[in-house]
A = this chain, B = another copy of it.
């Protein structure tokens, strides 16, 4: 019989990761704010829990994949939080996109409680999570990284070790999301410039995506931005804005100005202010550039 793992957070990403762990033979103790969501995992090898604490009880590993710092902090230190039940030496594998400050704070609390904390944020869309193609960034204690490695290997195509600093992997994740949203804004500006000059947005997008910028970000988002395909909501503007805030805050705590982070923060803040927070961030950014251009 395989190990039991605690699992908290069945959002677009978490649901796919949880399914993969079950498919690989793990038994999961699952908590999710909307409990009914747990049914999607099927009946076998799943224990429904009513609180984070319940999910964290008596397991060697607990995975959290939640929406932001506040939810994670509440899941950890709240009334029914995991620190209440996590057994000695158990590892909290923290895979959400959060601030390195929160990782450091939680790492200390785990240490005091005798358990362990590991920042392990991931890159990849829900499809990548389903296909075990995530890139997983880790940082922190060497032994802990080794201990969780078999689990992470089941979830992604590569585990990249960013050294001993607790929050290092979170910094990389925030930097990466910043680069993604900056790429989207950059494309929206370039394609709208093309459009304003009578060219085809799509042709320009395809040209760059197949030559100098032939990387997934530019190909996949480029197609959506060029085509103004805003219907499908894969990642909400308000979540993109949350990540822009994380980048901005990190530029403050790191004491370094980031002009482009500033620009994309402004774009996503405007999207939220205009009421597009629930729309995909492709719309939040792309439509924002278009409206400012009078289109």
Contact = CB atoms under 8 A, between A and B. Distances in A.
A163 interface: yes
Given A197-B168, A254-B193, A255-B196, A212 B215 contact: yes
A257 B214 contact: no
Interface string A171-211: 11011101110110111011111101111100110011001
B208 A179 contact: yes
Contacts of A140: none
Interface string A45-74: 000000000000000000000000000000
A104 B24 CA distance: 50
A34 B260 CA distance: 39
Interface stretch (A79-87, A141-149, A263-271): A263-271
- Copies held by the complex: 4
A197 to B, nearest CB: 4
Given A208-B176, A217-B213, A292 B263 contact: no
Contacts of A162: 199, 203-204
A51 B258 CA distance: 41
Interface residues of A, number: 76
Max chain B C-beta neighbours (<10 A), residue from A100, A250, A270 = A270
23 contacts: A100-B197, A137-B207, A158-B211, A171-B193, A171-B197, A172-B199, A178-B186, A179-B187, A179-B208, A182-B260, A183-B186, A185-B260, A186-B260, A189-B256, A193-B254, A193-B256, A214-B215, A245-B252, A257-B293, A260-B263, A260-B264, A273-B292, A275-B294
Given A185-B259, A193-B254, 19 more contacts: A135-B212, A168-B197, A168-B198, A168-B199, A171-B194, A172-B199, A175-B191, A176-B190, A176-B208, A179-B187, A186-B260, A189-B261, A213-B215, A248-B248, A252-B269, A255-B294, A256-B292, A259-B266, A262-B263
Interface of A: 100, 123, 135, 137, 158, 160, 162-163, 165, 167-168, 171-172, 174-176, 178-180, 182-183, 185-187, 189-194, 196-200, 203-204, 207-208, 211-218, 245, 248, 250-252, 254-264, 266-267, 269-270, 272-275, 289, 291-294
